[in-house]
């Protein structure tokens, strides 16, 4: 159903608006340049507008009115829009497309002289984004995996600690899961950050020099997350690193495989992508199945276990470096025990000789 404003538009005005929109799209999408030379942003914009045009043609709609865009949004969410291959698009993809359309309409409104048309275009651009439906079955899909304490312990002990790679991977997984560090924070840790840091209260901790938005913080280390120090010590001992000799040395290094199949460490710091791949190499037990978790799932696991074990919201927010408790609540998730017990969880580490 067309918007009421269209009732006052004659065929000539509708044709004029379509022409102006097409010209604006050509400018914004840089269609005069080869695809290989266009930016990713331009290609995504072009793809979104073309998807809209195909949809309008299929539904025999003349213009991208607000009601037409709302119908397009809902059909994309239900997998009914042309070009969606009968599959539901993610909320993120749908909203990216709507953002491109809003850009087209607002830029066109800025260039057009007719006041009535200008106001109408701006009204059409006010179409709202798609909203994520937070039903129980979609919690994991939308917000990631959170392992239980026993599942986490089994994941940590899956690494083959007879090799330098296994020792590194175990330490890496432990520092993200038992200290709640982001993967970018973990790979930038130095020996000084881990072994020579205390907070203002004299508690031992890990110094995060550059967290998100370049914010620094100290993550407290106590008995309940002591496996962080234990696994790092076992790893750097094999590396031959010493905090007394090289306090500024990066802890996590890349590895290379020799011809005999053994792993050797390299002096270069492990990259963020390398750390993500290291975590993804291990299947984690989860609700009776083996699944592949990503590095950020370990941070969510840390949040959930700490909160279930009684850590206060403010303390947990500070540990994780969040600007708001609301963000921390999203990390913890929905299925938690809200008891106020003192954190009392430990990881049993497998000996290297085993």
Q: In terms of Cα–Cα distance, which of 270, 308, 51, 272 is closest to 165?
A: 270
Of the pLDDT bands very low, low, confident and very high (cuts 50, 70, 90), residue 271 is very high
Give the global pTM. 0.59
* The pLDDT value given to residue 330: 83
The dihedral of CA 322, 325, 330, 332: what is its sign? positive
Whether 38 shows a pLDDT value over 70: the answer reads: no
Of the pLDDT bands very low, low, confident and very high (cuts 50, 70, 90), residue 117 is confident
Per the model's pLDDT, the better-predicted residue between 218 and 44 turns out to be 218
* The pLDDT value given to residue 222: 83
Q: Collapse the DSSP code of 132 into the 3-class scheme (helix H, G, I; strand E, B; otherwise coil) and give the result.
A: coil
Q: What is the residue extent of each domain of the chain?
A: 4-132, 140-332
Per the model's pLDDT, the better-predicted residue between 15 and 139 turns out to be 15
Of the pLDDT bands very low, low, confident and very high (cuts 50, 70, 90), residue 40 is low
Please state which CATH class domain 140-332 belongs to: mainly alpha
Between the alpha carbon of residue 225 and those of residues 2, 222, 302, 343, the distances in Å are 60, 6, 10, 10
* The pLDDT value given to residue 320: 92
* The pLDDT value given to residue 83: 55
- Compute how many other C-beta atoms are within 10 angstroms of the C-beta atom of residue 227: 21
For the ranges 27-36, 77-86, 95-104, 238-247, which has the lowest average pLDDT?
Answer: 27-36
Which residues have C-beta within 8 Å of that of residue 341, sequence separation ≥ 6?
A: 309, 310
* The pLDDT value given to residue 153: 94
* The pLDDT value given to residue 137: 42
Whether 17 shows a pLDDT value over 70: the answer reads: yes
Q: Which residue has the tokens 């592949």?
A: 292
pLDDT, tens digit, for every residue of 140-189? 444 678 999 999 999 999 999 999 999 999 999 999 999 999 999 999 99
**Token output for 61:** 């709609």
């Amino acid at each position: 159903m067309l918007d009421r404003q269209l009732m006052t538009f004659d065929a000539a005005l509708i044709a004029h608006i379509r022409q102006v929109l097409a010209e604006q799209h050509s400018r914004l999408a840089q269609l005069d340049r080869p695809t290989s030379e266009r930016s990713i942003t331009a290609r995504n914009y072009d793809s979104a507008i073309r998807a809209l045009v195909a949809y309008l043609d299929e539904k025999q709609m003349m213009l991208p009115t607000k009601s037409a865009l709302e119908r397009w949004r809902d059909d994309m969410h239900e997998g009914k829009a042309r070009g969606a291959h009968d599959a539901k698009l993610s909320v993120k993809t749908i909203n990216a497309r709507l953002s491109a359309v809003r850009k087209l309409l607002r830029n066109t409104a800025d260039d057009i002289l007719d006041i009535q048309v200008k106001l109408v275009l701006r009204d059409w651009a006010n179409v709202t984004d798609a909203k994520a439906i937070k039903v129980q079955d979609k919690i994991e899909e939308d917000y990631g995996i959170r392992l239980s304490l026993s599942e986490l312990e089994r994941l940590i002990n899956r690494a083959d600690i007879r090799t330098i790679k296994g020792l590194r991977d175990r330490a890496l997984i432990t520092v993200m899961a038992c200290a709640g560090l982001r993967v970018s924070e973990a790979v930038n840790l130095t020996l000084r950050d881990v072994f020579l840091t205390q907070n203002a209260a004299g508690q031992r901790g890990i110094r995060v020099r550059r967290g998100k938005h370049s914010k620094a913080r100290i993550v407290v280390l106590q008995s309940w997350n002591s496996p962080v120090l234990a696994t790092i010590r076992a790893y750097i001992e094999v590396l031959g690193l010493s905090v007394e000799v090289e306090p500024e040395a990066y802890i996590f290094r890349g590895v290379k495989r020799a011809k005999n199949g053994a792993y050797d460490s390299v002096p270069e710091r492990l990259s963020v992508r390398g750390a993500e791949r290291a975590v993804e190499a291990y299947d984690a037990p989860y609700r009776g199945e083996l699944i592949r978790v990503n590095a950020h799932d370990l941070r969510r696991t840390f949040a959930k276990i700490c909160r279930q074990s009684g850590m206060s919201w403010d303390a947990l927010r500070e540990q994780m470096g969040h600007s708001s408790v609301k963000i921390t609540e999203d990390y913890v998730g929905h299925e938690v025990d809200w008891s106020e017990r003192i954190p009392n969880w430990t990881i049993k580490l497998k000996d290297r000789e085993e």
